[in-house]
Amino acid sequence: MSAETMTGGCQCGAVRFAVAAPLGTASICHCRMCQKAVGGFYAPYVSTRPGTLSFTRGAPAHFQSSSHARRGFCEKCGTPLTFEAPDGIGVAIGAFDEPAAIMPTLQYGLESKIAYVDILGHLPGTETGADPDAPFEADIVSYQHPDHDTETWPPERAERS
């Protein structure tokens, strides 16, 4: 992969992708369809240029969410991956290995924006493992795919019960 290629994938590692730079417009959409598709307050996507998105492991399953759009997701773990419409393909920003490198510059669907979204950054918080009411966080073992490509996945490990 070149330094100008950005990679990512789903939570379980069954689907991995690469997008050749440059990426297009990064945005968040507040519409109800996007909220429901990602199970969140809004959906962050970045557009890709034709021919720049490739799947390097597996491929997404799809749900036709409207007469004009379908959404790609991992069939095994459910991670939202793509928004595909007549004008192109957007990739879920959170599915990239380095999501912080992709800054949204535009918002859509403001008619459905949840009012408290604007104050979320001001709420008190803790880092993972620092919540005294959740002591189990201190010894979490993640089965999530790492934020980089791997030759195979999952790694060999003892069966989980």
Q: What is the pLDDT of residue 156?
A: 67
Q: Burial of 47 by CB count in 10 Å (0-12 exposed, 13-18 middle, 19+ buried)?
A: middle
Domain residue limits at 89: 5-120
For residue 16, report the phi and psi dihedrals to the nearest 5 degrees. Answer: -125, 150
Domain membership of residue 92 (yes or no) is yes
Q: What is the pLDDT of residues 88-144, one digit of tens each?
A: 999 999 999 999 999 999 999 999 999 999 999 999 988 877 777 777 877 788 888
Domain membership of residue 116 (yes or no) is yes
Please indicate whether residue 96 or residue 21 has the higher confidence score (pLDDT).
96
Between CA 59 and CA 30 the distance in angstroms is 26
Residue the block writes with tokens 């996945």: 153
Domain membership of residue 94 (yes or no) is yes
Domain membership of residue 97 (yes or no) is yes
CATH code of 24's domain: 2.170.150.70
Number of structural domains found in the chain: 1
For residue 10, report the phi and psi dihedrals to the nearest 5 degrees. Answer: -80, 175
Q: What is the pLDDT of residue 158?
A: 47
- Ranking 10-19, 34-43, 64-73, 150-159 by mean pLDDT, the lowest is 150-159
Domain membership of residue 127 (yes or no) is no
Domain membership of residue 139 (yes or no) is no
Domain membership of residue 135 (yes or no) is no
**3-state SS assignment for residue 48:** coil
